[in-house]
Amino acid sequence: MTTTINKIELLAPAGNREKLEIAIHYGADAVYLAGKDFSLRNFSGNFTPGEMEDAISFAHNRGVKVFVACNIYSRNDEQIAISEYLESLGRINPDALIVADPGILSMARTIIPHIDIHLSTQSNTTNINTCLFWEKFGVKRVNLARELPLSDIRQIATGTSLEIETFIHGAMCISYSGRCLLSSFLTDRDSNRGQCSHPCRWKYAVIEEQRPADSHPFMEDERGSYIFNSKDLCMIGHIPELISSGITSLKIEGRMKGINYLASVVKVYREAIDDYYHSPDTYVTRPEWLEELSRINSREYCTGFYFGHPDDTRPNYRDDRPGTIHRFVGKILENTGPCQMRVDVRNRIRVGDDVEILSRKGPAVKDKVHSMRDKKGQTTDCAQPNTQVIVTLSGDYDSDDLIRHATEISYADPGRSRAPKHHRDSE
């Protein structure tokens, strides 16, 4: 008799169609996305109704689930529009709707009863009785508040029949479960309506009332002062604990992040999860996973609230973590012949450059650019961003594999931000 193992789900962000394809390419079991309205990431690109229908079809044909976020707290004048939006979702059949507002939940239960309801982390669910309350109203899955320790998460996961979802990687909001008013006050952009201007990442100083010309930083490095910045969450070192806790889905933050970030993070967690299920008794966190995650743009990593370590939830005053970051070059569109790839160029690349290719399996492969041809078939020594070229490498690779410079940028380079503005990620 064969025993079926309910493998934990890896849930990745898909801010637009390209990101959806990259998330699926590198191994996501499910993706979460949104339409042009009614979600909390209005600036991530998102999907028109037609684009969403195509995206759902694309994902389903590859065995990947799609969850649609409709997690704003709505206003009176939006009720008709939301009702019509839910009706349209009912026709294209995503696997679940992510909500926070009880009113939207109620409408969804009436209008699209065939679509599962997932409760957003915006609902601040922190205890088992609240989970049981939501279960009575038809919620199938709860994304728990990020402030919970793993011990509480385990109690909830084992004490209810609800599916439990938790964030395991990405940016952490300085406010309680993302319920922040700072952006509204400072820029008139409501973070709870998908318009956050991220003022918690800005530089601040104190000004004494009688001396307005003199500013005094709270704490500073060579780049400025940071009083609200949280560290970034990274749970790659704790996959066994997460799986054994009874969690259903491990969620990666970042609908507004680029494809370089997305590819690295999804790939690493995919390999870690698969390794654990293949051999839990001999499982170890591979050094190359930590190395890969350390070389994408991020703040200092921590384990958030999972283990109750005070240092993990203190602001990230430092923004100069030692190490290097990848220079993202471009995305392989197709293999056009032996060792020849058509590449969508995102940052400048030259013949002779040492590069590495991030494939779906195994460490990044080091290679070299031997020659290039432009769209007219003419040889060229250099390709600029927003162009496509045929690149000759030493090996063959797959569509949607990413290419990076093998020579990386040091975080500690004088005067250089850890996220160089002249290097594009995906947008």
Q: Do 243 and 147 belong to one domain?
A: yes
- For residue range 317-330, what is the model confidence (pLDDT) as tens digits? 554 444 556 789 99
- The answer to whether residues 166 and 184 belong to one domain is no
Q: Which run of H or E residues covers position 329?
A: strand 324-337
Q: Are residues 376 and 337 in the same domain?
A: yes
Each residue of 374-394: pLDDT tens digit?
Answer: 999 999 999 999 999 999 999
* Number of other CB atoms surrounding residue 331 within 10 Å: 24
**pLDDT for 23-46, tens place per residue?**
999 999 999 999 988 876 655 578
What is the tally of structural domains in the chain? 3
Among 217, 244, 272, the domain-final residue is 217
Q: CATH no. for residue 78?
A: 3.20.20.70
Whether residue 191 lies inside any domain: the answer is yes
Q: Is residue 73 part of a domain?
A: yes
Blockwise average pLDDT, block size 10, the chain, 427 residues: 72 96 98 87 76 98 97 92 96 97 97 98 94 96 94 96 96 69 69 65 72 65 59 94 97 92 97 98 96 82 85 53 71 96 96 96 94 95 96 97 78 33 34
Based on the fold, state whether residues 155 and 184 are members of the same structural domain.
no
Strand ranges, E, within 286-386: 301-302, 324-337, 340-345, 349-350, 354-358, 365-368, 371-373, 382-383
Do 296 and 334 belong to one domain? no
Same domain, 205 and 291: no
Is the CB of residue 122 less than 8 Å from the CB of residue 69?
no
For helices 79-92 and 49-60, angle between their N-to-C axes, nearest 10 degrees: 30
151/44 same-domain check? yes
Residues 162/136, Cβ–Cβ less than 8 Å? no
Q: Are residues 202 and 284 in the same domain?
A: no
Same domain, 168 and 195: no
DSSP state of 35: B
Could you give the strand order of the β-sheet that contains 354-358, starting from the edge strand earlier in sequence?
365-368, 354-358, 402-410, 324-337, 340-345, 387-392, 371-373
Q: What pLDDT does 6 receive?
A: 85
Is 301 within a domain? yes
pLDDT of residue 409: 54
What count of residues does the chain have? 427
In a domain, 423, yes or no: no
SS (H, E, C) 206-256: EECCCCCCCEEECCECCCCECCCCCCEEECHHHHHHHHHCCCCEEEECCCC
Q: Which domain holds residue 195?
A: 180-217
Does residue 239 sit within a domain? yes
One domain, residues 121 and 19 = yes
Under 8 Å between Cβ of 238 and 306? yes
Domain C-terminal end among 261, 283, 313? 313
Last residue of a domain, one of 217, 242, 270: 217
pTM: 0.85
Predicted local confidence at residue 415, as pLDDT: 30
For position 91, what pLDDT does the model report?
96
Three-state secondary-structure class, residue 303: coil
Q: Which amino acid is at 15?
A: G
